[in-house]
Amino acid sequence: MSINFDVKRLIILIFINLFILSLIGCNKADIESNASINMVAPEVKVIYSFATDLSNKKYAEAFDKLGIMLRKAYSGPDDIHFKNIQSMEILELFDKTYAKENGKWDINNKEIGENIYIYKVYYASVNYTISNIAESYLKNGINYHKITVYKETKDSEWKIGEISSTDKI
């Protein structure tokens, strides 16, 4: 009798662990899966959508997903650095918002130029194909990034506030 109980407990623990792991990170297959697409957080969807827009040469749509600071870094949707990216495929994305090494975004920093209601920090491995029409720190193949997304108000859309290079995740 106790063996059956232990097996049931073990199965339940396995399912709980799988559920927790699914909350920690996701990959492209998770996003493309019809079963999981509705379970993907909106702040994650904006990151994948940005990559898809760039790959599909929808520069205006990609530009709209950027926050004020990143918009200032580019001249607009026709910026040569957008066109330098032939394809951008996010291979892995991990929520690192509360990781000690991230530090914190100063949400009261007026230089950011944004009011921050909430933000999340993700580490990503991204596979790029670069056309080399502009000088860039990006290279063909896998690059690693810290991507910060935020909302200005409870009801506003998620925006990408930072995309920076980082060490291998």
Model confidence band, residue 35 (pLDDT cutoffs 50, 70, 90) = very low
What are the tens digits of pLDDT across the range 64-97?
Answer: 999 988 888 887 777 888 888 999 999 999 998 8
Domain ranges of the chain: 25-165
Model confidence band, residue 168 (pLDDT cutoffs 50, 70, 90) = confident
Question: Buried b vs exposed e over 89-106: b needs ≥16 C-beta within 10 Å?
Answer: ebebbebbeeeeeeeebe
Question: Buried b vs exposed e over 52-88: b needs ≥16 C-beta within 10 Å?
Answer: bbbbeebbeebbebbbebbbeebeebeeeebebbeeb
Nearest to 36 by CA among 136, 45, 122: 45
Model confidence band, residue 58 (pLDDT cutoffs 50, 70, 90) = very high
pLDDT of 44 higher than 70: yes
- HSE (CB half, 13 Å, CA atoms) of 47? 32
The alpha carbons of the chain give a radius of gyration, in whole angstroms, of: 19
What is the rounded average pLDDT of the residues 17-29? 49
What CATH number belongs to 25-165? 3.10.450.100
Q: Identify the pLDDT of residue 55.
A: 94
Nearest to 27 by CA among 164, 125, 97: 125
